[in-house]
């Protein structure tokens, strides 16, 4: 399984499901050890390019190298799709903005 490095999922620390799946992504190696962060712990650097209103309602995946953010189901699919060992990867799709 390939690890998605330099990316962080922002999650609601008061949500048991959110805590469980983000911890699972780190534990299984889908995300590196810095791959999850509670929404309340966002720092000023990350807040500069994260849409705070959108991140409250949609799962935000911060790419620290490109300083971009993926939201919602696309965030989860990016994590899952990166970890799958086959190509082309059926999980690498954009459900909100299909081509």
Q: What is the model's pLDDT at position 86?
A: 59
**CB contact burial 26-45 (16+ within 10 A = b; e otherwise):** beeebbeeebbbebeebeee
Show the CA angle centred on residue 81, arms to residues 79 and 85, nearest 5°. Answer: 120
Taking only the tens place, the pLDDT of each residue in 46-92 is 778 899 888 888 999 999 999 999 999 999 889 988 887 655 555 55
């Amino acid at each position: 399984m390939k690890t998605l490095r330099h990316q962080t999922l922002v999650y609601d620390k008061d949500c048991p499901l959110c805590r469980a799946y983000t911890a699972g992504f780190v534990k299984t190696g889908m995300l590196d050890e810095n791959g999850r962060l509670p929404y309340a712990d966002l720092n000023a650097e990350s807040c500069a390019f994260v849409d705070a209103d959108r991140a409250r309602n949609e799962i935000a995946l911060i790419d620290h190298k490109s300083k971009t953010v993926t939201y919602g189901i696309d965030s989860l699919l990016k994590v899952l799709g990166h970890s799958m060992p086959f190509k082309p990867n059926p999980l690498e799709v954009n459900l909100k903005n299909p081509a």
